[in-house]
Amino acid sequence: MEKAGELVRLSARFEAAHLPSDLRRDVDRVWPHAALGDVDRCSLLGVCLVVNSLGLSRVQGVEPTVRAWLGSSGDVLELETPEDFVLAANDIPLDDLIFSIRFALQRQAEAQRDFEAKARAWRVHDLATLEALTKVGTTEAMRRALFETRNRKWAEIIAREAKSPERTLVLCGAGHLCGPNNLRDVLTDVHGHRVNRLMM
């Protein structure tokens, strides 16, 4: 929910007011009002991100761990800002966001199990299964906006910044490393970089 918390109030193409009334009631029942305030103050993209994170265990991501390793001497370049994310996600049609919210509410009890299945597929390098699991609860337009478009933009930044003969460490979600136009393939095929997978 950390990323969702940053994004819920950023201006986006659709607002929570676009939710059908029945879905608005369902969202309101599970919404973390204490942390995020009223649903109506949020973008529909923010609602989608929050609802898709409900039911997941809260654990620290890899970013704080890597920053601790690097200390004050390490250079860290963010591949996108929250505003960049919203700009990419604005290509998602209204009906697709509503579909994802409905699906996430229906699967809330299984959310952690679904996430762990993706993690298992990644650990054994089963990218076909990871891709199939990543498609669940999304649409083609969502995958293009959230993965393919961002992968191409990220690859441009990485290729531009990785001019040093030293190795460059890139951190991203596993969903960016499977399926068509995944980040690894774009870096290799378009930008000519050799990419090695690390487990963290």
Least confident of 39-43, 125-129, 164-168, 175-179: 164-168
The 10 Å Cβ neighbour count of residue 92 is 24
Question: Per-residue pLDDT tens for 101-110?
Answer: 999 999 999 9
Question: Per-residue pLDDT tens for 158-170?
Answer: 998 887 777 778 8
What is the pTM assigned to this prediction? 0.85
**CB-based burial, 167-185: b 16+ in 10 Å, e otherwise:** eeebebebbbbbbebbbbb
User: Residue 130 pLDDT more than 70?
Assistant: yes
